[in-house]
Amino acid sequence: MQQPAKLLTAAASAAALLGSLALMPAGTADAATSSAAQQGKSIAFNRKEGNCLACHKMDHGEMAGNIGPPLANMKQRFPDRSKLYAHVYNEHKFHPGSIMPPFGPNHILTPDQIHKVVAYLYTL
């Protein structure tokens, strides 16, 4: 079971990131989002971090796995960004038998890294 304090910390991190983007001038927020997405892509493709390509087909990914669903049309599939974050944070909450690692609870990725991966997934 997840500890409430960790969930609150992750939620606070998300709120801070989104809040800071909302306060920025439009061009700056777009640049910050683009930077986060680029960092998220790096995390998603890195075998020592997210390693999403081991199981998922994604644009620009070489030697993608086919265990998980293709990561495409993510904005349409998850219009609520926090729901996508929750799936990446701990897919086991939604699908207990999933082989996807619980990135948040197992401290594989930090909440900030998960937000960056979500920013990247929203570009797919």
Taking the CA atoms of 101, 78, 41 and 117 in sequence, report the sign of the dihedral they define.
Answer: negative
How much of the chain is helix, strand and coil, in % rounded to 5?
A: 55, 0, 45
- Cα–Cα distance measured from residue 47 to residue 29, given in angstroms and rounded to the nearest whole number: 29
Q: Is 106 helix (H, G, I), strand (E, B) or coil?
A: coil
> How much is the pLDDT for 62?
73
> How much is the pLDDT for 41?
92
* The CATH number, out of the four listed (3.30.530.20, 3.40.30.10, 1.10.760.10, 1.10.287.3510), of the domain defined by the range 31-121: 1.10.760.10
Whole-model pTM: value is 0.72
Could you give the angle at which helices 81-89 and 4-23 cross, rounded to 10 degrees?
A: 140
**Whether the predicted pLDDT of 23 surpasses 60:** no
> How much is the pLDDT for 94?
95
Residue 65 pLDDT level (bands cut at 50, 70, 90): confident
Domain ranges of the chain: 31-121
